[in-house]
Structure 1
Amino acid sequence: MITAVHTLIYSDDAPATRAFLRDVLQWPYVSDEVPEGDPEWLIFRTGPSEVGVHPTSAKDSSFRAERHHSITLMCDDLDGTMADLASRGAEFATEPVDESFGRIVFMKVPGADDILLYEPRHAVAYSLEG
């Protein structure tokens, strides 16, 4: 039986990325056995999750995307969440934008790619009983 989803972020500066997740996002974590030469190896609890599958192309438009995986964080109030995160040092790569699926913003992550943060307009699955 599958018990969870383990998401990976590959970072050019793993300690800075881990510090961002720990200090800015304030995700709870456990320390795992530290690999040789790595100062701190943390595994974070990310909370409820869901998986969506998006097409790489759309029949009625010129939209195309390469096959890939993406990390997206959801919130109930984008403006309030942005203000809270900014008070702890978060920086944003874009201004908030209205999309068909919700209000979005890209958040900078030290040493790694930006992460999409959004307030969904669609039904969510993360609160379904298991």
Structure 2
Amino acid sequence: MIFGAHMIIYSKDATADRLFFRDILGFPSVDAGQGWLIFALPPAELAVHPAEEDDGHEIYVMCDDLKTEISALEAKGIRCSDVQEARWGLITKLRLPGGGSVGLYQPKHPTAFALRGPPGLPGGSSGAAG
């Protein structure tokens, strides 16, 4: 039985990006040995979108108030891209110290969290779009 998901971000500066997830985003972690941090993530969803090419992947973290989250990140010295409004949510990108980026968005769509997670998560619905 599948019990979780493991995401990997490839980075030119993995140490700096690990510190970003630990110190800026506040994700708890375990040390898998030799300083190799593996982070606990908030509840997650998976969406499959049509595309011209296979093998493209994106990582987004979600929040319930994008404006407030951007303000908190900027107070920590993190720059966010301009907010874009998509039909599925408000979106910004966070630049990682290693040069990559991670998306941050406030969803407008129903989320799938209530299907498996603890009670009280925002937007749970069995009719999730994506």
TM-score norm. by structure 2 comes to 0.84
Secondary structure in structure 2 of the residue aligned to 1:127: helix
Are 1:50 and 2:50 matched, yes or no?
no
Structure 1 stretches (4+) deviating beyond 6 angstroms?
A: none
Aligned positions of 1:41-120 closer than 5 A = 41-56=36-51, 64=52, 67-92=55-80, 94-120=81-107
1:127 deviates by 2.8
1:113 deviates by 1.5
Root-mean-square deviation (CA, aligned residues, Å) is: 1.5
Q: Which runs of 5+ in 2 are unaligned?
A: 118-130
Instruction: Write out per-residue CA displacement over residues 8-67 of structure 1, whole angstroms, 9 at most, x where no aligned residue.
Output: 011100110000000100000111112xxxxx21110011001000000xxxxxxx5664
* CA 33–125 in structure 1, closer or farther in 2 if over 3 Å, else same: same
Q: Residue in 2 aligned with 1:26?
A: 26
Distance in 2 (alpha carbons) for counterparts of 1:119 and 1:99 = 10
Number of aligned residue pairs: 117
Distance in 2 (alpha carbons) for counterparts of 1:15 and 1:29 = 14
Larger Rg: 1
Q: Which runs of 5+ in 1 are unaligned?
A: 35-39, 57-63
Distance in 2 (alpha carbons) for counterparts of 1:9 and 1:31 = 17
* Percentage identity across paired residues of the two chains: 38
Q: 1:74 corresponds to which letter in structure 2?
A: M
Distance in 1 (alpha carbons) for counterparts of 2:17 and 2:44 = 20
1:89 deviates by 2.5
Cα contact 1:22–1:28 (8 A) shared by 2: yes
1:126 deviates by 2.0
1:85 deviates by 1.6
Q: Residue in 2 aligned with 1:59?
A: none
